[in-house]
Amino acid sequence: MKIAVFPGDGIGEEIVPQAIAVLEGIGKVFNHQFDFQYGFIGGAAIDRFGEPLPKESLATALLADAVLLGAVGGPKWEGLDYSVRPERALLGLREQMGLYANLRPVMLFPMLAGASTLKSEVIEGINLLVVRELTGGIYFGSPRGVEKYEGHERGVNTEVYTTPEIVRIAKVAFETARKRRKKVTSVDKANVLEVSELWRKVVTEIHKDYPDVALSHMYVDNCAMQLIRNPRQFDVLVTTNLFGDILSDEAAMLTGSIGMLPSASLGGESRKTGLKGMYEPIHGSAPDIAGKDVANPIATILSVAMMLQYTFGLDREAIAIESAVFEVLKEGYRTEDIYSLDNKKVGTKEMGRLILERLKGHRG
């Protein structure tokens, strides 16, 4: 199993080694061989090679079955032109690897209910998955730009989707729902936008191949409200690039801590069982806490659990990681971002070590 590893910048360099240690632990317990290929992206690559996604790193990513990424960016590179900023590396990888589906599970560990800004009775038991289309829509559509227009300026972006783009993301949503609670909510703005009308029509058409999965449609404004009002009603949410960008951040924050949430970006076929993918925590490089051994490594550790599940089809191994995280939290260990009185505060390395220790207690 070939894995490209890009720690990136800031806390990426601290959290990725913890996730690698967990993967190595899985290798020992379940008798698997992982081949790690390291590379530079983001600011770390700009400093060494003058560009955020050097061709060596891109080649490493393209040859791998899966990519593990920490985070990119930081104040040091903020003055650079947008075309060479660290964040370009992410867009480049998504585009070159054809990663059209972004999956963000939002699950609440019950012992962390107090960390959310919402009332416990609203968020208890939430377990939903946002499936966001990642390579189409308004972020990529043309025409785009700012132009002179009748004596003033005019900014234009275009929301565009083709049938094949909608078909493939709808299939990811239905397939994933089959392994969960078999419920898909497709989110659009079909009351106003023609492109949404097509989205709704195609999703409804694809649903005919998945009669065992329930499908409902929801307008995006209502969905934004329902996520706060009654998030337990959702299983799988499927939506466009723009709506997914906004709703997945909203959904993520239901659980209270950005340091807990993993993500997978999928596309193409892996040489192994599943979809080729890039796995990363949803948070950024957190320059404010970088180098202090306080960052929460759990989002990255849960990201490798997603990798095992989605790219390598190793469900048992993924569950073993999730259980180890659960146990450590149940025992009261917390990094600073999720710490409250009565808990035991630990740093990045210690949190990683504790999870690895619980994992070794599992029998393969």
CA–CA gap between residue 333 and residue 336 (Å, rounded): 10
* Number of residues binding to ligand NAD, judged by CB under 6 A: 21
As measured in angstroms, the least distance from the Cβ of 359 to ligand NAD is 20
Are 94 and 278 in contact by the 8 Å Cβ rule? The answer is yes
Compute the Cα dihedral for 280, 39, 25, 296 and give only its sign.
negative
SS3 for 61-91, per residue?
HHHCCEEEEEECCCHHHCCCCHHHCCCHHHH
Active site residues: 139, 189, 221, 245, 249
The packing angle between helices 315-330 and 298-310, to 10°, is 160
Q: Which is nearer to ligand NAD, 92 or 287 (CB)?
A: 287
277 near ligand NAD (CB under 6 A): no
As measured in angstroms, the least distance from the Cβ of 96 to ligand NAD is 16
288 near ligand NAD (CB under 6 A): yes
Q: Which is nearer to ligand NAD, 186 or 263 (CB)?
A: 263
284 near ligand NAD (CB under 6 A): yes
As measured in angstroms, the least distance from the Cβ of 258 to ligand NAD is 5
231 near ligand NAD (CB under 6 A): no
CA–CA gap between residue 258 and residue 115 (Å, rounded): 11
Are 73 and 42 in contact by the 8 Å Cβ rule? The answer is yes
337 near ligand NAD (CB under 6 A): yes
SS3 for 247-288, per residue?
HHHHHHHHHCCHHHCEEEEEEEECCCCCEEEEEEECCCCCCC
Q: Which is nearer to ligand NAD, 93 or 206 (CB)?
A: 93
Among 17, 73, 136, 274, binds ligand NAD (CB under 6 A): 73
131 near ligand NAD (CB under 6 A): no
As measured in angstroms, the least distance from the Cβ of 339 to ligand NAD is 10
> What is the contact surface with ligand NAD in residues (CB under 6 A)?
11, 71-74, 87, 90, 258-259, 280, 283-289, 295-296, 299, 337
